């Protein structure tokens, strides 16, 4: 049976082609006509019980296949009618039974079915399919953005988002195909009319001219067969047109058509009682019996529906009471309360319009862009950012939390803009002075009417959503090493394995565990070094892991391998650096203490203070020159000097000589000495 499944559609197509070319016996034609009728009925009945149009996504192709098959049967029947004056029992039976063996009756019935199929059902379904395809395609961007927003706020998982996007694409493809397939149904109806006229005219010519029959006998013979052929073909065509109209008008349904009609049409007893009264009112003026019977049936149905609704209401009340009692009795489920979101953005009720799409807010879209931007810039998958309102904070205040702990906050003035001095502005603006939350720079809150003037003077002007987005971006960058866990690293490793399986198989878990790789990557992110080039990172770890498992040493080797990108990021257009006096480097080397758990720096406090004071003076000098402070040290000393200064001068860039690209020219403008 499984083998036959693969030949069903090809068999129908081949039969259709054979019918067009080879002569078919009337017995075989009878069987194929029966197959055509029953297959069309099966398709129509399936559309009635569909819950969603996508449950029968193959429907447009079915229309094409069945239309070709039906037209081939028409052509075969035409050959038999014109050549033999006989086309089998099915066609003659339809002509005699439906037309009551009367040419006029048969032709009128055939004409009425043709008009109903062509002008009513086919035309309507074609228009609905066209409109559905247009609106589905127009709505795709909005649906995609809604999915991104739900994913970003944590309402759905990545798998659910992927499935929703796939469903939207399938809907667009389906309704686009239906728009084209409906043209087959329409043109099939037109072809049926033309074939019928050809059969009648051709039959009369053959019968009268070639076979020398009376015109009455020719009409009786060929017209009955032609009408039978037309009815045999139009019946399946009518069922397929009906199925097409069913499937394109099914929108937003949760169950099949049968259940929807019963539930939505006969749910209100009042409507049925009014209809029964109307039926009783019409009875005296028309035939009483049908209307009185109908009124009695409607009243009985209304009474039963009222009973069912009352019983359902009582059951619902009992279920609610039982569930409330059960909820009180059962122990509280606190597992959900243990979940800590990696990143949270809480805001007061005054900022809600910025996050509400219905009010024109685009904060959700900006958060999606932040995750994409950081994926490109840092090379890590930023966890989902949870957005929620908090009535316990000020209306215009927002709080950023990392793993449930507040790490930053800010406050906005709604309907104001923030103007920041870029360093070249001399004229002051009137406004409310404040501090920009992301970088701590002095700024001014200005009204929208002052925006053009501020930009002309050289101020950088941003709106409230941009302030939140920038602040959130900088916070995530600062704490990125905390957000990169083993699960995220495993996802990165799996991604690399798809294209570079040899590297992963050599490194994990033979040489390093996922936890050890995670610590190396965290060290890189902590100093704002991108981990996007995972291939180079993993190849470097595979080279040096056999010699050492010291995380700090492995990190330094990886930094040296990433020297080109590090130089481009920190030394791009910046050639002024601060170097270390050889005596300072030697003092640091002599103070390194190694243990089985790692190494640390054990400098005398007075020496540490002297070094830090010297660093501060040189950093201030570089800032006055307009350059980013960068310390240059030997490879062995770099890490320990960074640890010495990171708590006192956060954000200070410390590079080693081995990390400097050979094409970069640098100039020492200061020396750290003791």
Question: What is the pLDDT averaged over residues 293-316?
Answer: 81
**What is the domain range of residue 294?**
266-321
Q: Do residues 459 and 517 both lie within one domain?
A: no
Q: What is the pLDDT of residue 330?
A: 58
Last residue of a domain, one of 258, 274, 306: 258
What Cα–Cα distance (Å) separates residue 392 from each residue in 352, 395, 397, 409, 445? 14, 9, 10, 14, 25
Query: Is residue 8 one of the residues assigned to a domain?
Result: no
Residue 506 burial by CB count (10 A; 0-12/13-18/19+): exposed, middle or buried? middle
Q: Do residues 383 and 493 both lie within one domain?
A: no
Last residue of a domain, one of 511, 528, 561: 561
Token digits of residue 293: 């019977």
| Predicted confidence (pLDDT) per residue in 153-191, tens digit | 666 777 787 887 777 777 766 666 666 666 666 666 677
Last residue of a domain, one of 223, 239, 258: 258
**Residue 619 vs residue 414, higher pLDDT:** 619
For residues 273 and 83, give the distance between their C-alpha atoms in angstroms, rounded to a whole number. Answer: 61
3-class SS at 532?
coil
Q: Do residues 179 and 113 both lie within one domain?
A: yes
For residues 160 and 155, give the distance between their C-alpha atoms in angstroms, rounded to a whole number. Answer: 10
Helix (H) / strand (E) element for 580: namely: strand 576-580
For residues 444 and 431, give the distance between their C-alpha atoms in angstroms, rounded to a whole number. Answer: 6
What Cα–Cα distance (Å) separates residue 61 from each residue in 74, 181, 359? 20, 8, 43
| Predicted confidence (pLDDT) per residue in 260-296, tens digit | 666 666 667 787 788 778 878 877 776 677 778 878 8
For residues 30 and 87, give the distance between their C-alpha atoms in angstroms, rounded to a whole number. Answer: 8
Q: Do residues 70 and 155 both lie within one domain?
A: yes
Query: Is residue 414 one of the residues assigned to a domain?
Result: yes
| Predicted confidence (pLDDT) per residue in 56-80, tens digit | 777 777 777 777 777 777 777 777 7
In this structure, what CATH number is given to the domain that contains residue 666? 3.40.50.12790
Q: Do residues 457 and 523 both lie within one domain?
A: no
Q: What is the pLDDT of residue 159?
A: 78
Query: Is residue 6 one of the residues assigned to a domain?
Result: no
Q: Do residues 476 and 488 both lie within one domain?
A: no
Query: Is residue 3 one of the residues assigned to a domain?
Result: no
Helix (H) / strand (E) element for 408: namely: strand 405-411
Q: How does residue 252 score in pLDDT terms, banded at 50, 70 and 90?
A: very low
Query: Is residue 526 one of the residues assigned to a domain?
Result: yes
Q: Do residues 582 and 532 both lie within one domain?
A: no
Token digits of residue 15: 């039969």
Q: How does residue 525 score in pLDDT terms, banded at 50, 70 and 90?
A: very high
Token digits of residue 613: 């004071």
For the entire predicted model, the pTM comes to 0.55
Are 445 and 416 contacting, i.e. CB atoms less than 8 angstroms apart?
Answer: yes
Q: Do residues 629 and 605 both lie within one domain?
A: yes
- What would the DSSP string read from start to end of 48-86? HT-SSGGGGTTHHHHHHHHHHHHHHHHHHHHHHHHHHS-
**Residue 249 vs residue 626, higher pLDDT:** 626
Reply yes or no on whether the pLDDT at 673 is more than 50. Answer: yes
Largest pairwise CA distance in the chain: 129
Query: Is residue 521 one of the residues assigned to a domain?
Result: yes
Q: Do residues 420 and 368 both lie within one domain?
A: yes
Q: Do residues 595 and 648 both lie within one domain?
A: yes
Q: How does residue 353 score in pLDDT terms, banded at 50, 70 and 90?
A: confident
Question: What is the pLDDT averaged over residues 619-633?
Answer: 84
Are 189 and 114 contacting, i.e. CB atoms less than 8 angstroms apart?
Answer: yes
| Predicted confidence (pLDDT) per residue in 568-606, tens digit | 888 876 678 899 999 999 998 888 888 777 777 888 888
Are 380 and 513 contacting, i.e. CB atoms less than 8 angstroms apart?
Answer: no
Are 133 and 182 contacting, i.e. CB atoms less than 8 angstroms apart?
Answer: no
Q: Do residues 500 and 605 both lie within one domain?
A: no
For residues 659 and 621, give the distance between their C-alpha atoms in angstroms, rounded to a whole number. Answer: 24
Query: Is residue 94 one of the residues assigned to a domain?
Result: yes
**Residue 378 vs residue 572, higher pLDDT:** 378
Q: What are phi and psi of 22, to 5 degrees?
A: -90, 150
How many structural domains are present in the chain? Answer: 5
Reference 646, options 527, 563, 555, 556; nearest CA is 527
In this structure, what CATH number is given to the domain that contains residue 447? 3.40.30.60
b/e for 222-248, b at 16 or more Cβ within 10 A? bbbbbbbbbbbbbbbbbbbbbbbbbbb
Total Cβ atoms within 10 A of residue 659: 23
Reference 655, options 670, 667, 637; nearest CA is 637
Question: What is the pLDDT averaged over residues 246-252?
Answer: 61
For residues 466 and 458, give the distance between their C-alpha atoms in angstroms, rounded to a whole number. Answer: 18
Q: Do residues 577 and 428 both lie within one domain?
A: no
* Averaged pLDDT score across all residues of the chain: 79
Query: Is residue 622 one of the residues assigned to a domain?
Result: yes
Total Cβ atoms within 10 A of residue 151: 20
- With tokens 């019980």, the residue in question is 49
Are 14 and 69 contacting, i.e. CB atoms less than 8 angstroms apart?
Answer: no
């Amino acid at each position: 049976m499984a083998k036959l499944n693969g030949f069903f559609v090809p068999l129908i197509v081949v039969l259709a082609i054979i019918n067009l070319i080879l002569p078919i016996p009337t017995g075989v034609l009878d069987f194929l006509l029966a197959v055509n009728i029953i297959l069309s009925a099966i398709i129509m009945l399936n559309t009635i019980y569909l819950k969603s149009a996508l449950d029968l996504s193959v429907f447009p192709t079915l229309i094409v296949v069945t239309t070709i098959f039906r037209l081939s049967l028409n052509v075969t029947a035409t050959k038999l009618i014109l050549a033999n004056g006989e086309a089998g029992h099915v066609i003659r039976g339809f002509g005699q039974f439906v037309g009551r063996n009367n040419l006029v009756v048969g032709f009128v019935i055939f004409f009425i079915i043709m008009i109903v199929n062509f002008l009513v059902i086919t035309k309507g379904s074609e228009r609905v399919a066209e409109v559905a395809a247009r609106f589905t395609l127009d709505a795709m961007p909005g649906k995609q953005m809604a999915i991104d927003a739900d994913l970003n706020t944590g309402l759905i998982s990545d798998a659910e988002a992927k499935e929703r996007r796939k469903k939207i694409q399938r809907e667009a493809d389906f309704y686009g195909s239906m728009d084209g397939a409906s043209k087959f149904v329409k043109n099939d109806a037109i072809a049926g009319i033309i074939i019928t006229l050809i059969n009648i005219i051709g039959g009369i010519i053959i019968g009268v001219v070639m076979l020398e029959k009376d015109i009455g006998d020719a009409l009786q013979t060929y017209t009955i067969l032609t009408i039978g052929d037309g009815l045999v073909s139009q019946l399946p065509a009518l069922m397929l047109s009906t199925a097409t109209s069913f499937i394109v008008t099914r929108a937003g349904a949760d169950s099949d058509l049968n259940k929807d009609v019963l539930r939505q049409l006969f749910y209100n007893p009042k409507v049925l009682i009014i209809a029964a009264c109307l039926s009783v009112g019409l009875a005296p003026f028309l035939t009483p019996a049908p209307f009185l019977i109908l009124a009695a049936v409607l009243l009985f149905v209304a009474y039963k529906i009222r009973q069912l609704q009352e019983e359902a209401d009582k059951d619902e009340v009992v279920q609610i009471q039982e569930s409330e009692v059960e909820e009180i009795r059962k122990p509280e489920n606190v597992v959900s309360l243990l979940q800590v979101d990696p990143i949270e953005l809480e805001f007061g009720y005054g900022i809600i319009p910025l996050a509400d799409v219905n009010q024109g807010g685009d904060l959700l879209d900006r958060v999606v862009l932040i995750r994409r931007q950081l994926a490109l810039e840092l090379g890590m998958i930023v966890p989902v950012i949870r957005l929620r309102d908090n009535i316990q904070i000020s209306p215009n205040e927002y709080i950023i939390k990392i793993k449930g702990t507040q790490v930053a906050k800010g406050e906005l003035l709604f309907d104001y803009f923030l103007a920041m001095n870029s360093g070249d502005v001399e004229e002051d603006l009137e406004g409310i002075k404040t501090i920009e939350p992301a970088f701590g720079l002095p700024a001014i809150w200005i009204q929208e009417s002052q925006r053009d003037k501020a930009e002309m003077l050289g101020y950088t002007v941003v709106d409230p959503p941009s302030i939140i987005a920038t602040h959130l971006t900088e916070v995530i960058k600062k704490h990125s090493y905390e957000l990169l866990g083993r699960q995220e690293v495993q996802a990165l490793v799996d991604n690399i394995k798809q294209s570079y399986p040899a590297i992963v198989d050599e490194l994990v878990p033979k040489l390093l565990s996922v936890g050890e790789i995670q610590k190396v990557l965290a060290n890189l992110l902590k100093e704002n070094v991108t981990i996007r080039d995972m291939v180079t990172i993993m190849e470097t770890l595979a080279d040096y892991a056999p010699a050492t498992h010291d995380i700090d040493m492995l990190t330094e080797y990886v930094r040296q391998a990433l020297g080109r990108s590090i130089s481009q990021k920190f030394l791009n257009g910046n050639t002024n650096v601060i170097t270390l006096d050889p005596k300072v480097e030697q003092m640091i080397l002599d103070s390194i203490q190694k243990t089985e758990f790692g190494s640390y720096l054990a400098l005398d406090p007075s020496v540490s203070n002297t070094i830090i004071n010297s660093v501060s003076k040189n950093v201030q000098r570089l800032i006055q020159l307009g350059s980013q402070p960068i310390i240059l040290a030997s490879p062995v000393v770099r890490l320990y000097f960074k640890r010495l200064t990171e708590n006192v001068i956060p954000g200070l860039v410390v590079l080693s000589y081995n990390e400097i690209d050979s094409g970069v020219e640098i100039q020492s403008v200061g020396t750290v000495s003791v």
